[in-house]
Amino acid sequence: MCGSLITPFFPPYADKKGISQTTLGLIIAAGPFGGLLASIIIAKTLNHRNRNKYILIGVLGEPLSLLFFSLTDLFEDKVPIIIIASIGRFIGGIGTSLFLTPFFGYIPILYPKDVEKKVSISEAFSSVGFFAGPALGSALYALGGYLTPFLVFSSFGFLSLPFLYAALQSVGPKKYQVEVQRQIAEIEETKKLTEIQQTLLATQQLDGEQRLTFLSLVQHYPVVVIFWVITLVNICMTYFQPILSIYFTKQYDFDEGQIGFIMTIVSLAYTLGCYLCGYNRNYKREMACICLFFFGCSYFLAGPDTELIQVPHKLWIALMAQFLLGVLSGPAYVPSLPVLNEFLLFHYPIQTIRVATYSSALLTSGMFIGQLTGPIIAGILGDEYGFERACSILGVIIIVTSFIYVPIIFMKSKKENKQALLS
């Protein structure tokens, strides 16, 4: 909620202060930039001993970020507003990364047989925050003015820390260690099965497994494509932040108090999409590919782009497009971590813990790269071509990506490997 809180009222506020959409995109991108830097560091230092510490520090970063944003109201000149807002976003991005990287790293370890559903539930809760943030931000802005959303949310953020600490102490390290031991036993059993099968077939023993590194990751086509999908969908998630509220206030005569409720359409639909795709375990790659294609098509209706597709400006069309963007982005995005984890386990079955850590690091890195570049690209294209054409350009990129994704559907992963061993 803290990350999406500013989206309905800060862009029009910045526009009134003379801040361009490109600069606004850079301000918003400061958050993901901080998150990206933090995720790179976390990937090298994260372990089961410091996961909870990172999560707590990460949650602390969000209210601190909002307090910085509240200081922008002290100035009339746009330069200090740009600097302070950028620092606030940067701190918030670091906090988000410190929370999400260890959080997603927990999922494949604690729930190895239920990764898809757990990721779906996590994304559903994230989308609740995304839709609640703009809605509550708009409501608080309408009730108390510019400072109210920042002060209220930062207060709740600080108050939540003791409760989070207690929750982490009760479920963290013990369950993690138990699951690690269970997976070690499973690996040993799999190795024995492999040795027996090789003996029966009179084959030679396999050479030692290659150590999983970032360099070895980029040599795999599915890893590169899935990383790009993660990045692209997160570009889409932040693409509207610097331009949507400005466009709706000018094109459809909305005010800041109403914009937040328009933004909830995407997040509510995203929640629905995440919920539905959590029950699709057998065809998640096919689902992701198909949804990517139609996800891209929906961007042509976001304005809509009347010159390109000859569809008139109608509010109901724009709102329908927002719903489609939300409901299709979930199934396109949520399978990324499970598919990535399965594929890496197929090639690195012994390095279970390392696979989980690298998968979550790729997820959060792609997330922050996308969230970093999304508002920047949107701001530049919005200034250059306008909102409607900026959306169409993104739609074309997504459609092309859906075709690039097709080969992944036919590639083997952990599940196929297990079936081969047992046959």
Instruction: Let me know if residue 221 belongs to a domain.
Output: yes
pTM metric for this prediction:
0.67
pLDDT for position 184 = 55
* pLDDT at residue 400, rounded to an integer: 95
pLDDT along the chain (423 residues), means of 10: 74 85 86 80 71 81 86 88 91 83 69 65 65 75 83 85 78 53 55 45 43 78 91 84 76 72 75 73 84 92 83 85 87 84 81 76 80 84 86 93 92 55 40
Burial (0-12, 13-18, 19+ Cβ within 10 Å), 282: exposed
Q: Is residue 399 part of a domain?
A: yes
pLDDT confidence of residue 292? 93
In a domain, 415, yes or no: yes
* 257 domain-assigned: yes
CATH at residue 108 = 1.20.1250.20
Q: Are 405 and 288 in contact (CB under 8 A)?
A: yes
Containing structural domain, residue 370: 10-422
Query: Residue 2 falls within a domain, yes or no?
Result: no
pLDDT digits (tens, 9 = 90+) for 134-169: 777 777 887 888 888 888 888 888 888 888 778 777
For residue 158, give Cα distances in angstroms to 4, 62, 100, 153, 234: 18, 9, 18, 9, 27
Is residue 54 in a domain? yes
Is residue 306 included in any domain, yes or no?
Answer: yes
Residue 104 lies in a domain: yes
pLDDT of amino acid 388:
87
Contact criterion met (CB below 8 Å) for 134 and 260? yes
Give the per-residue pLDDT at 150: 85
Which residue, among 93, 59, 65, has the nearest Cα to 162 in the 3D structure?
Answer: 59
CA–CA distance, 156 with 419 (Å, rounded to integer): 49
Number of domains comprising the chain: 1
